[in-house]
Copies of this chain bind each other. A is one copy, B any other.
């Protein structure tokens, strides 16, 4: 009974991982109620994503319109972090997602570069594209003057899959870094010891300082 245009909208948008059919349906009616201008603004915003490119070193995003300004230069395919000469290009943090980079950059205390590994699958085994990203990282490290990273920080979430993957990455990179560390685990600021689980408490005790 819904017009096919709305059915199509619901089908396409509910395939996005964080939007279910109910939210997609409500979205359709909200957007229709906001008028043609809103539809165009949203469609233009979507089309704009076509100009996004993926950094060839760390796999974060950058804009092709920014890159084309310096086309031909070696930094044309790099994001704003990898092409920034003021960052420490001998320290690498491996994270799962682009949004992890955003949170860490917001914190503002990390000055190295990143490697986005992609979300971990269960079992601590790397997928093919993740293995190829690790090869990219190793090649970047081999081109450093010392042929070793000063440090690789594993910015991997503290959970079972994360722990398995962290061990795997530590083994893989043992020859490629002077130091391999993992972001600290413990009681979050504002959290309470009383309500922390045993694993967290264990890490908080080990990581005391």
Q: Are B61 and A26 interface neighbours, CB within 8 A?
A: no
User: How long is the Cα–Cα vector from A36 to B65 in the complex, in angstroms?
Assistant: 16
**A98 at interface by CB-CB < 8 Å:** yes
Copies of this chain present: 2
Of A16, A46, A50, chain B has the most CB atoms within 10 Å of the CB of A46
The complex places the Cα of A32 from the Cα of B17 at a distance, in Å, of 13
Give a binary string over A15-41; 1 marks a CB under 8 Å from any B CB, 0 the rest: 011110001011111111000100101
Interface 1/0 per residue, A61-104 and B, CB below 8 Å? 11101100000000000001100000000000000011100100
Given contacts A1-B105, A5-B45, A39-B47, 4 further A-B contacts (CB under 8 A): A25-B102, A29-B99, A43-B46, A43-B47
